[in-house]
């Protein structure tokens, strides 16, 4: 299972400007899911900021039980183990930390990212990155989370997608017209993750919520959200500190939406 990964570990180490995120680094060839590997590493004592990257995934996992298209050699499949001094109730903004970190990294590589709630990174209206956070709790009465595994998939250099994704997915290379340096991308991503993690711990969720809103083009627009049970339509008014979307319905009622699939419109 641990075949070669053509990401250069020594180059990442040379480029890294962090204290914790990426300092412990494991590169795998093909694995099932970097989140599964990182959860196992977290249970075995991985330090805060440990990062695991695979060249490809055979069972990459997305939100809502979906799979994540993970061909080898061209993209980034990245999971980090964060151990913030936060209670499980205060942990949800870590997903916003990850989204803002990925968006800032994509911007540093020449793209103009749009964050679509809850955490899709879009380029030119198509999905280029997704985030899957998984929490390891401690048994009560512990007040702090044990770890949160933040899984990030970024289409860096992919040029072709399976038919079912062809009209919905893109990559950084496709939109910028330039091949993306994976090691440099990883080093910048680690740096932005560390900066926003530390900011969340020091100052609470308001700064990262504000940064997230700065990337979110659908805020203030008419939207619909399919939460699996019903379709909610209204105006995407705001994002709250837990990452819930606040949707104002036509009848004036403000709904907090915690999960679902967001679409623009009805137009
Ligand atoms: C989504 O948008 O549905 C979330 C996709 C998350 C994919 C990444 S790839 C690295 C990590 N390992 C996984 O199995 N999933 C996440």
The DSSP-derived string for 33-54 is -HHHHHHHHHHTTPPTTEEEEE
> What is the rounded radius of gyration, in angstroms, for the C-alpha atoms of the chain?
18
Which atom of ligand 1 is least distant from the CA of 35?
A: 12
Determine the Cα–Cα distance for residues 130 and 207; give it in Å rounded to an integer. Answer: 21
Q: What integer pLDDT is reported at residue 3 of this predicted model?
A: 44
Which strands sit side by side in the sheet containing 222-226, from one edge to the other?
254-257, 245-248, 231-239, 222-226, 261-264
Residue nearest to atom 2 of ligand 1 (CA): 130
Spans of the chain, pLDDT less than 50: 1-3
Inter-residue contact 263 to 231 (CB < 8 Å) = no
Specify whether the backbone of 160 is left (phi greater than 0), alpha (psi in -120 to 50) or beta.
Answer: beta
Neighbour count for residue 244 (Cβ, 10 Å): 17
Give me the helix-helix angle, 93-108 and 182-203, nearest 10°.
Answer: 140
Cα–Cα distances in angstroms (integers) from residue 159 to residues 74, 111, 163, 174, in the given order: 9, 16, 13, 6
Q: Are strands 120-123 and 222-226 parallel, antiparallel or unpaired?
A: unpaired
Joined tokens for residue 188 = 């910048």
Q: What is the structure's pLDDT at 134?
A: 97
CB of 117 closer than 6 angstroms to any ligand 1 atom: no
Q: How far apart are CA 267 and CA 2, in angstroms?
A: 49
DSSP state of 20: S
Q: What is the pTM of this model?
A: 0.95
Ligand 1, atom 9: closest residue by C-alpha? 153
For 188, counting Cβ atoms within 10 Å of its Cβ (0-12 exposed, 13-18 middle, 19+ buried), the class is buried
Coil, helix or strand for 30? strand
Residue whose structure tokens are 């979906």: 66
In sequence order, the 6+-apart residues with CB closer than 8 A to the CB of 223 are 233, 234, 235, 236, 247, 262, 263, 264, 265
Q: Whose CA is nearest to atom 16 of ligand 1?
A: 151
CA dist 19 and 56 (Å) reads: 27
pLDDT at 98: 98
- Does residue 80's CB lie within 6 angstroms of at least one atom of ligand 1? no
Strands 222-226 and 231-239: antiparallel
- Return the pLDDT at 242: 85
**pLDDT for the residue numbered 1:** 37
State in Å: Cα 62 to ligand 1 middle.
5
- Domains located in the chain, CATH noted: 9-215 (3.30.930.10), 222-264 (2.30.30.100)
Q: Parallel, antiparallel, or unpaired: how do β-strands 50-57 and 261-264 relate?
A: unpaired
Beta strands at 50-57 and 25-31: parallel, antiparallel or unpaired: parallel
Give pLDDT, residue 225: 95
Mutate to test the pocket of ligand 1, among 35, 52, 82 (most ligand atoms within 8 A of CB): 35
Six-digit token string for 261: 């699939």
């Amino acid at each position: 299972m641990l075949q070669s990964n053509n990401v250069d570990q020594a180059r990442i180490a040379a480029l890294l400007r962090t204290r914790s995120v990426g300092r412990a680094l494991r590169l795998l060839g093909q694995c099932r899911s970097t989140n599964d590997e990182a959860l196992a590493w977290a249970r075995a004592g991985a330090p805060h900021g440990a990062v695991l990257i695979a060249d490809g995934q055979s069972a990459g996992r997305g939100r809502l039980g979906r799979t994540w298209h993970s061909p080898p050699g061209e993209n980034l499949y990245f999971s980090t183990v964060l151990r913030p001094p936060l209670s499980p109730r205060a942990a949800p903004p870590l997903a916003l930390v990850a989204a803002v970190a990925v968006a800032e990294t994509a911007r540093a590589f020449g793209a103009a990212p749009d964050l679509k709630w809850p955490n899709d990174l879009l380029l030119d209206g198509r999905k280029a990155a997704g985030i899957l956070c998984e929490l390891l709790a401690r048994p009560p009465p512990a007040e702090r989370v044990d770890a949160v595994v933040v899984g990030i998939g970024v289409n860096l250099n992919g040029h072709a997608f399976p038919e079912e994704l062809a009209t919905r997915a893109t990559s950084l290379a496709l939109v910028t017209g330039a091949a993306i340096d994976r090691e440099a991308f990883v080093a910048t991503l680690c740096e932005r993750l560390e900066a926003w993690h530390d900011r969340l711990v020091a100052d609470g969720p308001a700064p990262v919520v504000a940064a997230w809103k700065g990337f979110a083009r659908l805020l203030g627009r008419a939207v619909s959200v399919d939460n699996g049970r019903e379709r909610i339509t209204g105006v995407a008014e705001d994002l709250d500190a837990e990452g819930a979307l606040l949707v104002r319905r036509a009848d004036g009622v403000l709904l907090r939406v915690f999960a679902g699939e967001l679409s623009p419109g009805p137009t």
